[in-house]
Structure 1
Amino acid sequence: MSERFVDARSWNYTPAELWADGIVHAVGLVLGVVAATALFIASLERFDLVGTMAVSTYAASLLLSLGLSATYNIWPVGRTKWLLRRFDHSAIYLLIAGTYTPFMIEAGTYRLMAVVWTVAVAGVALKLIRPGRYERLSIYLYLALGWSGVSALDVFIETLPRATLWLILAGGLVYTLGVIFHLWQTLRFHNPIWHGLVLVAASIHFAAVWICVTA
């Protein structure tokens, strides 16, 4: 299935849907900048260089994903939008890996971190080199990467705050729920609902990182 055909089905949004989606993205960007700045400052007080770099990696991946998603979704249909689509979908892999990074550094699960980042880089390459192909596979890969932390659950339980663990789980469930609305393209407002759930899940995971940093 070509990239052009994939997006041609999903860009027929009403003005109301576009406005709703724009508002969700605007809120996400503002909150993201404020949250990332506060988190970086907190990490300087709590962590050494490695810990601060881990938190910075997470913050950068969050802002990159929010920024690219906003740009891609509000950009008029055209050649540039096709290019932005590649970067937007690639950034999802980076966000997943970036979100896990502070937890994996804190828990010392370096093998898992190597696997997560290797898969994320491979996913980015797939999106950039073969855009519009393997769409279903990409969704499964997003979900598998997002839930890969289950493989080190025993270590996370021993090293991370209990509240952080519950928030990681809750955020993952909200992300997974959001996929249903992402795929439900016949539902009106499915796109702002999907992005709204992404924002909620990202906020929950931010809280998990915040507790891990400040505990």
Structure 2
Amino acid sequence: MVEIENLKFDANGLIPAIVIDSLTKQVLMLAYMNKESLKISKEKGLACFYSRSRQQLWLKGETSGNYLNLVNIKNDCDNDTLLISVQPEGPTCHTGTDTCWGETNNYNPILFLSELQDFINQRYHDMPEDSYTTSLFKKGINRIAQKVGEEALETVIEATAGTKDKLVYEASDMLYHLIVLLTNKGLRIENLAQELLERHTPNWDKKRRIAKSKNK
């Protein structure tokens, strides 16, 4: 969490706060905070702001029930703007929309692949007992590669003679084991995404997009 004493408040004792969903990274709203609202936010674990129009503190959701559960607060490089990560309960805007710009704040399941990769990496590091993933790592690369092949074959069978539901199930198994294989070789699923990006991106945009992805 940010240290209040390091922040640069304006002449009215306020600092702008950009609020984002910690899961989707969607920008939800822009508000202002003062020292007291920051302190309350930290203590309650709920985003509290200062209303410039009403000239008073404003605990988001106190009236509507649409609270913003605080995840993290970061300051920018100049210490004069905050980035507030939250988990929203319901719509953020008073008009009933997910964001104050009328955008829909949906979680894209594709983002879970990075979370799954991090989870498998942790399994590789910790090697907890009674874990299927641990057992795969202990059996070595040959067994892991064999499992990828087995799951790929089952995926092909479902694609040609099965149902869509079973195809999704088997393809998910194949992808999981592929991530385990990549992890064992010191790679991540993002390495595959990077390769596909380089293949797909037009030359005029390639250098910029690839450079940005490698700097993350």
More helix by share: 1
More strand by share: 2
> TM-score range with shorter-chain normalisation?
under 0.3
